[in-house]
Amino acid sequence: MAEQALTGGSDPHPALFDAVLELADDHLILGHRLSEWCGHAPMLEEDLALPNMALDLIGTARTLYDYAARQEGKGRGEDDLAFLRVEREYRNLLICERPNGDFAQTMLRQLYFAAVMEPYWAAAVDSPDAVIRGVAGKAVKEMAYHVRHAGEWVIRLGDGTDESAARMRAAVAELHRFTGELFEESTASAALVEGGVLPARGDLRGPWDRVIGMVFAEAGLEVPEVPFPQTGGRRGLHGEALGHLLAEMQYLQRAYPGATW
């Protein structure tokens, strides 16, 4: 993206780089996870749908990385940020890096993420930051599609056969513990929320609960108690899964530094 006319706020916040990087990491890592389904989905329509959704996320990530890199002003570009950082430097939410598991887990993970990002971007369309506003305007519509698509699958599987319902219940048991982190503010994002640049994550709890409640009610699923919520992604504390993902995603830049096409 050599020629981009994206202009940021007139007065860049010192925490902007970190806060934008967090968002970019969420989108790249989940986008990469979805792309792993390409060629492996259980049916042709899903083989089209999942990479399409991955593209939405990776497209959003690219714009955010480009913006973060320019805020940083150290000569790094979007590719450097995506391909030349190690696990501890990644700031993504833990749920984004969770392995695809089966189709139930992939769709539930997508619903959990999209149901928080749709109201997030909806609130961000009024941001005083032009890049955030621009990204939000596109992403809010795309997230609405993701909520819808993933929500339909959660309902279909949860309210399906004994086998599909058992798998969906297992997915809830596996993934729900990562959802508390969706509503946590990092030091960087808290600073920008205070300045009105980014939406407050705490405000997203209500809309998220409503969508999940509605989908779960139709799917015959119960929202579980979470005795041990998992968190740490924003501080670079990740599960083993992220290292394996990065090993594959970053292979080319590590093996052939600076390669382009």
Partner 1 sequence: MSAAARAWAAAAAVPDPEVPCVTVADLGILREVRIEDGVAVACVSPTYSGCPATAMIEMGIETALRGAGFEVRIERVLSPAWTTDWITAEGREKLRAYGIAPPEGPAGKRALFADPVVACPRCGATATRKISEFGSTACKAQYACTACGEPFDYFKCI
In contact, 98 and 175? CB cutoff 8 Å: yes
| 53 binds partner 1 per the rule CB under 8 A | yes
Single out the residue of 140, 230, 214 nearest to residue 182, CA to CA.
230
Is residue 101 within the footprint of partner 1 (CB under 8 A)?
Answer: no
Decide if residue 117 touches partner 1 (CB under 8 A): no
Q: Is 131 in the site for partner 1 (CB under 8 A)?
A: yes
Check residue 106 for interaction with partner 1 (CB under 8 A): no
Q: Whose Cβ is closer to partner 1: residue 62's or residue 169's?
A: 62
Q: Cα(162)–Cα(214) distance, rounded to whole angstroms?
A: 21
Binding of residue 116 to partner 1 (CB under 8 A): no
Structure tokens at 122: 């909806």
* Per-residue mark of binding to partner 1, 9-48 (x: CB under 8 A): ----------------------x-------------x--x
The alpha carbon of residue 221 and the mean position of all alpha carbons in its chain are separated, in whole angstroms, by 23
Distance CA 4, CA 2 (A): 6
In the bound complex, what is the minimum distance in angstroms from residue 219's beta carbon to partner 1? 12
Q: How far is the CB of 133 from partner 1 (least distance, A)?
A: 5
Q: Is 70 in the site for partner 1 (CB under 8 A)?
A: no
Tokens of 14: 């010192």
Please report whether residue 231 would count as binding partner 1 according to CB under 8 A: no
CB of 5 to partner 1, least distance (A): 4
- Start-to-end CA distance of the chain, whole Å, equals 13
Instruction: Tell me the angle at which helices 16-35 and 240-249 cross, rounded to the nearest 10 degrees.
Output: 80
For every residue of 11-30, DSSP letters joined together read: S--TTHHHHHHHHHHHHHHH
* 214 near partner 1, judged by CB under 8 A: yes
Contact residues for partner 1 (CB under 8 A)?
1, 3-6, 31, 45, 48-49, 52-60, 62-63, 130-131, 133-135, 137-139, 141-142, 144-145, 147-149, 151-152, 211, 214
